[in-house]
């Protein structure tokens, strides 16, 4: 079939470079060598995206999608799949009346907020600058002030998609609502490809920040204080709280960093929140900053420096049980880093995590006065989010760093209720990623809209073998991941 969309075939000398282009994680495991994509498509428009989907279906291939290439496991590089590399499909369209912005999946958080800034608006996207909104939002999107503003996918008003049978559909809470349900939390298991997201934006506010650095020996005290401030009954609704074990510029070893960021109209409003926190800080900080003016640009720069390009990564995460002794549970993770560039992160999630649970309604399942949990696949969380980002440069450290991650997570698993899709690698650890009821419904939506397994779905350990055995397609899509809930 004659099409205008650029297609790169395995016979092209540049094929493997194209297949792995923009994959952020430079670590390549032995299993990665088994991945043999069918082709790489590089659509530049919605029309060419439709062409690429039709081509994959006509040739009996699977479909995988690359938005920003930031998934640690390189979900887009799949055997027997046409990779839809959206690098050249960049569109942003803003409606001044509704404040809704329509964006393609390739657009990054930095690109989007750079576009919105002159309009006096912002979108609470990811903290890392080069993450595409596609993968970020499909996974749920742990964005700015997620603890109070809700997940980034809750700010999605609608999605335009192309289904496995070639239909172009608009999906929102009323129209094709089951696909809209899946688009907010299915992650790489979404049974269609998103052409555009319709995003509700927020007024642009000033960012102010408290930053405290302590010796790592003070870790337990500092993390417990961070948790207490983040969970205080009167905690401000525009505040986010984070605690890290990290080795920032100017430090030769890991330290404990606690930071509180607030979005307000004025410095006076910010000072009222951050000044109160500052008065309660533990004694003896090495760095002690209160209510400093910040910005999305500077925060993106800091996040980019902490997640450098051309490095190898092993990432893991867990939602720690609400009643756990969190500093004790995370002590090894925070204090025994295998590499100077590795870091561990605690991110406060309450009160978002305390909203009503749609699968298990009742007064003991949520916090009265908060908005009900939206009708979306995303459903697994707790008050305490923890993530490991093990970062290194040289291949000879692969086993040491991956082994350390596994050791830490093996000790944490009994204190966890599940994990977030975005910082996971399903080939090495499976756990719960949804509430049981939402997982069952997600499985039904996937079977309805993609019964043949056209979309490659979740990258599980046996993925390449299964793809070869079925000549590309799999009917048992997501078997391992979704069966954790049965």
Q: How far apart are CA 406 and CA 421, in angstroms?
A: 17
Residue pLDDT, tens place only, 102-123: 999 999 999 999 999 999 999 9
Measure the CA–CA gap between 316 and 314, rounded to whole angstroms: 7
In a domain, 23, yes or no: yes
pLDDT along the chain (486 residues), means of 10: 91 96 92 91 96 96 96 93 97 98 97 98 95 96 95 97 95 98 96 98 98 98 98 92 96 97 98 97 97 97 94 95 97 97 96 68 46 85 95 96 95 95 84 90 95 91 62 53 62
The verdict on residue 267 lying in a domain is yes
Residue 463 in domain: no
Domain CATH for 329: 3.40.462.20
User: Is 7:40 a contact under the CB 8 Å cutoff?
Assistant: yes
- Whole-number Å distance between alpha carbons of 470 and 370: 47
Query: Does 106 lie in the same domain as 232?
Result: no
Peptide bond before residue 185 is cis, with ω within 30 degrees of 0: no
User: Given 402, 423, 444, which residue is the final one in a domain?
Assistant: 423
Question: Is residue 77, in this structure, part of any structural domain at all?
Answer: yes
pLDDT value of position 365: 46
Residues 266 and 360 in one domain: yes
> What CATH number did the domain enclosing 3 receive?
3.30.43.10
The CATH number of whichever domain residue 130 belongs to comes to 3.30.465.10
Q: Is residue 169 part of a domain?
A: yes
Q: Give Rg (Cα) of the chain.
A: 22
Q: Domain check: are 161 and 267 in the same one?
A: no
61-87 pLDDT, tens digit per residue, is: 999 999 999 999 999 999 999 999 999
Considering 37, 71, 89, which residue would you say is the last residue of a domain?
A: 89
Number of domains within the chain: 3
- Looking at the structure, do residues 250 and 346 belong to the same domain, yes or no? yes
The answer to whether residues 233 and 96 belong to one domain is no
Does one domain contain both 359 and 257?
yes
74: containing domain: 1-89
Whether 196 is in a domain gets the answer yes
Amino acid 362: pLDDT = 41
Distances 174 to 25, 95, 155, 158, 171 between C-alpha atoms, Å? 38, 21, 16, 10, 8
Residue at a domain's end among 89, 105, 127: 89
Helix/strand number for the chain, H first, E second = 15, 19
180 & 269 share domain? no
Same domain, yes or no: 74 and 117: no
Does 410 share its domain with 283?
yes
CB atoms within 10 A of CB 469: 10
Pair 294, 373 in one domain: yes
How much is the pTM? 0.93
Question: Residue 351's closest CA among 153, 142, 148?
Answer: 148
Residues constituting the chain: 486
The per-residue pLDDT for 431 is: 87
pLDDT of residue 34: 86
Query: In sequence order, what E strands does 52-131 have?
Result: 62-66, 81-85, 92-94, 100-103, 121-122
In a domain, 465, yes or no: no
Rounded Cα–Cα distance for residues 246 and 269 (Å)? 30
Whether residues 120 and 27 share a domain: the answer is no
3-state secondary structure of 37: coil
In a domain, 358, yes or no: yes
Same domain assignment for residues 353 and 368: yes
């Amino acid at each position: 079939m004659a099409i205008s969309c650029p297609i790169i075939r395995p016979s092209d000398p540049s094929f493997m470079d194209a297949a792995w282009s923009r994959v952020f994680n430079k670590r390549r495991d032995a299993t990665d060598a088994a991945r043999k994509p069918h082709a790489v498509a590089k659509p530049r428009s919605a029309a060419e995206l439709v062409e690429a989907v039709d081509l994959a279906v006509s040739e009996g291939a699977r479909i995988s999608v690359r938005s920003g290439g930031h998934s640690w496991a390189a979900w887009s590089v799949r055997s027997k799949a046409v990779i839809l590399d959206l690098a050249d499909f960049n569109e942003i369209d803003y409606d001044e009346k509704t404040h809704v912005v329509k964006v393609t999946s390739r657009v990054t958080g930095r690109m989007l907020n750079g576009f919105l800034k002159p309009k006096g608006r912002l979108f609470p996207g990811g903290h890392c600058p080069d993450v595409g909104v596609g993968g970020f939002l499909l996974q749920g999107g742990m964005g700015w002030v997620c603890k109070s503003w809700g997940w980034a996918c809750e700010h999605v008003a609608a999605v335009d998609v192309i289904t496995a049978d070639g239909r172009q559909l608009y999906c929102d809470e009323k129209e094709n609502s089951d696909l809209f349900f899946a688009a907010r939390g299915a992650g790489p298991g979404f049974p269609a490809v998103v052409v555009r997201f319709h995003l509700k934006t927020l007024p642009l506010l000033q960012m102010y920040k408290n930053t405290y650095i302590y010796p790592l020996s003070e870790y337990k005290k500092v993390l417990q204080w961070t948790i207490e401030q983040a969970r205080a009954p009167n905690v401000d609704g525009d505040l986010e709280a984070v605690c890290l074990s990290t080795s920032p510029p100017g430090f030769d070893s890991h330290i404990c960093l606690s930071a509180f960021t607030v979005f307000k109209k004025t410095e006076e409003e910010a000072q009222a929140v951050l000044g109160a926190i500052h008065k309660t800080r533990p004694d003896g900080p090495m760095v002690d900053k209160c209510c400093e003016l910040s910005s999305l640009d500077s925060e993106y720069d800091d996040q980019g420096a902490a997640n450098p390009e051309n490095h190898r990564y092993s990432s893991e995460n867990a939602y720690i049980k609400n009643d756990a002794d969190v500093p004790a549970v995370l002590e090894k993770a925070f204090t025994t880093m295998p590499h100077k560039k590795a870091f561990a992160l605690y991110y406060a999630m309450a009160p978002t995590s305390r909203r009503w649970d749609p699968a298990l309604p009742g007064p003991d399942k949520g916090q009265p006065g908060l908005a009900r949990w939206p009708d979306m696949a995303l459903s697994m969380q707790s008050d305490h989010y923890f993530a490991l980002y093990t970062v290194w440069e040289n291949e000879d450290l692969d086993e040491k760093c991956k082994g350390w991650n596994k050791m830490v997570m093996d000790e944490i698993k009994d204190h966890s209720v599940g994990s977030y899709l975005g910082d996971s690698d399903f080939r090495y650890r499976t756990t719960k990623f949804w509430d049981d009821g939402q997982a069952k419904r997600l499985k039904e939506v996937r079977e309805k809209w993609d019964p043949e397994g056209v979309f490659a779905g979740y990258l599980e350990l046996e993925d390449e073998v299964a793809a070869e055995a079925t000549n590309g397609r799999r009917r048992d899509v997501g078997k391992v991941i979704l069966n954790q809930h049965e």
